[in-house]
Amino acid sequence: MKTKDFYEILGVPKQATVQEIKKRYRELAKKHHPDANEGSKKSEEIFKTVTAAYETLRDKKKRQVYDRQRSNEGSSRSRSRARPRPGSAYSGNWNEYDFERETRSSYQEPFSRTGFQQEEAPFDPDTPTRGFDLQFIIDVPLETAALGGKTTYAYEKYVNCAACAGTGKAGDGKCTICKGKRQTVAPVTVEVEIPPGVADQFTLRFENKGGEGKNGGPPGDLFLKINTLPHPRFKRVKSDIYAEIKIPPELAETGGTLEVKTLDAVRAIQVEEGTLTGEELRLTGEGAAILWGKKRGDLIIKFFISGN
């Protein structure tokens, strides 16, 4: 089998413009589409190969990476026989993204709860003791993680018993409210500022928002681990957002404008005449925030032609 060169596959020169590549791809796709060849295996193979080549060459960034790999290969052929691959994490197949994350169960419930049981430890119970650190998972909508925002988080923590002012005593006996434990569990709420572009599973720290200290000891800290909720339309890969958008065959055929919801706006986009399923449109600066800043990644719209 000869080396698969994307330019050779499409039959275009290395300097071909995107328009030329697109035009050539449409011709080949039409000719080799499985539907036009009674499901011929050979046609299907050619169609897949042609599509893979097109997916790489039509995208400026992927093409640059491919060209670089290709020239590296030429100059060091003996070192590696690896097939050039599209350099981006995005291979053109929606299902190949790895969106798997740790599951919720792998994260610990607040570890303070069991710690509290060793209450009557051998040391002096009047010793000032630091409050417990608490860690929880906070569910954050994809848009909020992508662009930042304010929210609140409600949780429970140990606070000094109000009835006995944290002494555990009432007269000669034990405080009946905390049963002598000096603390009670109370619901509290914390204001949370989600940093724009925060990574999934990132842990935010809130100083002194953990359990209160005993006998005048300092409070513990609160840790909130970001769990980005799945979104029905958007997938996020670092600072880029991917959206698959269904368009009717007529619109794909003739082209036209279409209103699409982005993370924070509605944009009128231009659907090109003769758009095919899998073709992409990149909206620069419509993605998630980059490195907690004001700059943003891109929104990549992938068209899916459907009559339904």
- Residues in contact with Zn ion by CB under 5 A are 161, 163-164, 175, 177-178
Closest separation between CB of residue 128 and Zn ion, Å?
Answer: 17
Dihedral over alpha carbons 106, 110, 112, 116 (to 10 degrees): -100
Bridge partner list, 190: 153
Closest separation between CB of residue 170 and Zn ion, Å?
Answer: 7
Q: By C-beta, is 166 or 220 nearer to Zn ion? A: 166
Cβ-proximal residues to 157 (8 Å cutoff; 6+ apart), any chain: 112, 131, 132, 134, 185, 186, 188, 209, 210, 211, 212, 222
Closest separation between CB of residue 174 and Zn ion, Å?
Answer: 8
Q: By C-beta, is 101 or 179 nearer to Zn ion? A: 179
Closest separation between CB of residue 180 and Zn ion, Å?
Answer: 7
State the number of CA atoms in the 13 A half-sphere of 67 facing the CB. 12
Residue type at 43? S
Q: By C-beta, is 175 or 260 nearer to Zn ion? A: 175
Closest separation between CB of residue 151 and Zn ion, Å?
Answer: 33
Q: Which two tokens stand for residue 187?
A: 């619901």
Closest separation between CB of residue 110 and Zn ion, Å?
Answer: 22
Q: By C-beta, is 176 or 203 nearer to Zn ion? A: 176
Q: By C-beta, is 164 or 243 nearer to Zn ion? A: 164
Q: By C-beta, is 38 or 172 nearer to Zn ion? A: 172
